[in-house]
Amino acid sequence: MSQPVLFLSRFLAIVTFVGLIGAAAPHVSAAAASITVDATTGHILARQDAEKKRQVGSLTKIATAMVVLDWASKQAGDLAQVATVPPAAFAGTTTNNLNLQPGDTLTLRDLLYAALVQSDNIAAYTLADYVGRVLPTSLGENPARAMPVDIFVQQMNALANHLGMKRTRFLNPSGIDTHEKPYSTAADIARLTIYAMNSAGFRFYVSQKEREIAIGRGPQRLRYLLRNTNQLLGTDSIDGVKTGSTERAGDCLVLSAARPSEVAQQGTTTLVTPRRLIVVELASPDRFAEGLQLLSTGWQLYDQWAAAGRPEDSRNSLSSPDVR
């Protein structure tokens, strides 16, 4: 008798899950592309044109930051090292909110804050220029002639390849797309963000609403207060991640939100299941309002999926080779 009852209970759980998903009426995104995923498993809760290649603007800086942080972690790189802003950092960018000048000096740590919190293009380029000088390269037959930023971007693309971001091509460390067209997808940016949010350092950077940094200019020591471009930070358990915007990319946004872990007791074993969602929007007409809506719908779908026992479906997973 126990086997039929067990089978029936599983059948009812599946039927209930399917019914709940159908009743949820997921929000139809106004963004050109979007995706909502469980950060622990990569399970896709909702998506719209998530595999379509698009420009992603400053969401690129997530990859920039992770190349720097991975280098610092694996090669004992010191983020207190001081980098000099090169003249080339100003090419192609029309914004200079920090009022940086060629020859200014900042620590790598403060450059990371500037790139992630206030999405500064000059800071991103300076990071790539500095770290690119110490990274290995396979560019051409004469690596001594390879430009540091090109070497750095090569590592960004190597990271993308490692993460299965098969529809992504980075061309620069900032996401500028005025003269060239780097691209990615909502699904690939979700893969990148899950990887980044597993880094305690990255999580801390993107969680800061404000941060004061120091800029060296000759004998002067200037102070600048960064303000996070992510207006939703701290709302509805949102603890990151990044904004992006160019004329080609439109307004883009990646959100991370965490709830207390689910704790369950199975005999003498305590099972702890983290609960974190990642939302990606590309080219949204109202990225912050829509981000909140996508997150709210995402938690509804997550609760239904969890109540059904978190069933696995290779067609709805970022780890599946079919989700490109």
Least confident of 26-35, 111-120, 138-147, 233-242: 138-147
- The sheet carrying 82-84 orders its strands as 82-84, 105-107, 210-217, 220-227
- The sheet carrying 238-246 orders its strands as 44-48, 33-38, 269-282, 250-266, 238-246
Query: Superfamily assignment of 24-316 in CATH?
Result: DD-peptidase/beta-lactamase superfamily (3.40.710.10)
For residue 28, the SS3 value is coil
Closest alpha carbon to 156 in 199, 111, 123, 124? 124
The amino acid at 92: G
Average pLDDT over residues 204-229: 97
Confidence label for 60 from pLDDT (cuts 50, 70 and 90):
very high
> What does pTM read for this prediction?
0.89
Catalytic positions: 58, 61, 119
Decide if pLDDT at 3 tops 90. no
Alpha carbon distance 322, 40 (integer Å): 19
Pairing of strands 269-282, 33-38: antiparallel
Decide if pLDDT at 153 tops 90. yes
Average pLDDT over residues 205-213: 97
Question: What pLDDT score was predicted for residue 6?
Answer: 39
Decide if pLDDT at 264 tops 80. yes
pLDDT tens digits for 271-309? 888 999 999 999 999 999 999 999 999 999 999 999 999
